[in-house]
Amino acid sequence: MELLRIGEKVISMTRIGRSINEILEMRASGLSQQEVGARLGIERTFISRLEGLGEIRKGQSIAAVGFPIKNKAEIENVLKDFGVEYWLLMSEKERQQFVNECNGEQLSNRIMELINRFKRYDAVIVMASDYRNRVARGMLGNQIVEMDIGRSPIREDVSVNLHQLTQVLKTIKG
């Protein structure tokens, strides 16, 4: 048992850890902050602050895909800042390499794996041509957020509007 003295008080770190675990387990089981507080004799606001201390992400899980992208590094920074969990951004050269480095069967498998991966997210931001956005919408359904970066076919890298991307992410995050 780890003890800590604070002024006149002796605090049990083990007891605090057990209590925090109990609170969070009750919340994870579906009880409201009010219900947990009433059961344990603590204020709801304490539970709210406790959850805030450990919060990693709020809202939907988000992924992003984009090609052919010129300003990849800047986009990655924005995605990181907003806690986007997964992204796949390619320049035209990288997209060509992706397509050409394997045979048809391997390419088909890679694409299917990517579709399956993107389907795991609540929202997927697609930064692509009008045609590719329509195709992505057909594969991923309502979870897609389209950012048209030009009319198809796009043969050169395109800079994505960072302000527009930021606004999209703010809207998704709520």
Cβ-count burial of 110 within 10 angstroms (0-12 exposed, 13-18 middle, 19+ buried)?
middle
Cα→Cα distances 109→119, 133, 139, Å: 15, 20, 15
Structure tokens at 36: 């947990």
CB atoms within 10 A of CB 131: 14
pLDDT tops 80 at residue 106: yes
Confidence band of 28 (pLDDT split at 50, 70, 90): confident
> 38-79: per-residue pLDDT in tens?
999 999 999 999 988 876 555 689 999 999 999 999 999 999
Residue with tokens 């527009």: 164
pLDDT of residue 55: 66
Q: What is the per-residue pLDDT for 95?
A: 95
